[in-house]
Amino acid sequence: MGLDDLTPRQYAVLLTVSQNEGLSQTQLVERTGIDRSTLADIVRRMLKKGLLSRRRTREDARAYAVRLTDDGWKSLRTADPVARRVDERMLSALPAAQRERFLSDLGTIVTALGKIRDNPPAG
């Protein structure tokens, strides 16, 4: 299974779980920015494909800890170089001097969106 077999959100979930083994689905929502119901559907599909496994957490019997399976690690290793090439190709549209600024600004936007999600405006 390569990048062609993964959606961008599935790749994001694999990458996030690989960097944070044992995250709960709630923590995955927080780290990826994918809404709860969509993430639950993605995780369910990835469980069926054998890319993820999950088990109840010790801290909260209602929550699941999510981990990559061997097939999940293989898919990530296969997809990662392709995703990096896509990133590099997109960034190559910018002059080298602007790339770092763009990535910094993008990080600022992501952080701001996370704060809005965590503290929605009243109304």
Contact present, 79 and 14 (Cβ < 8 Å): yes
Topology of domain 3-78 in CATH is: Arc Repressor Mutant, subunit A (1.10.10)
Contact present, 52 and 17 (Cβ < 8 Å): yes
Which pLDDT belongs to residue 119?
A: 64
The residue ranges of every structural domain in the chain are 3-78
Summarize pLDDT for 25-63 with one digit per residue, the tens. 888 888 888 888 999 999 999 999 999 998 877 777 777
If you search the block for the tokens 């969509």, which residue do you land on?
38
Mean pLDDT for 65-71 is 92
Which pLDDT belongs to residue 71?
A: 94
Which pLDDT belongs to residue 17?
A: 93
Of 4 and 67, more confident: 67
Cα 112 to its chain centre, rounded Å, is 18
Q: At what angle do helices 36-49 and 8-19 cross, to 10 degrees?
A: 80
Q: Look up residue 120 and give its two tokens.
A: 């929605």
Which pLDDT belongs to residue 80?
A: 82
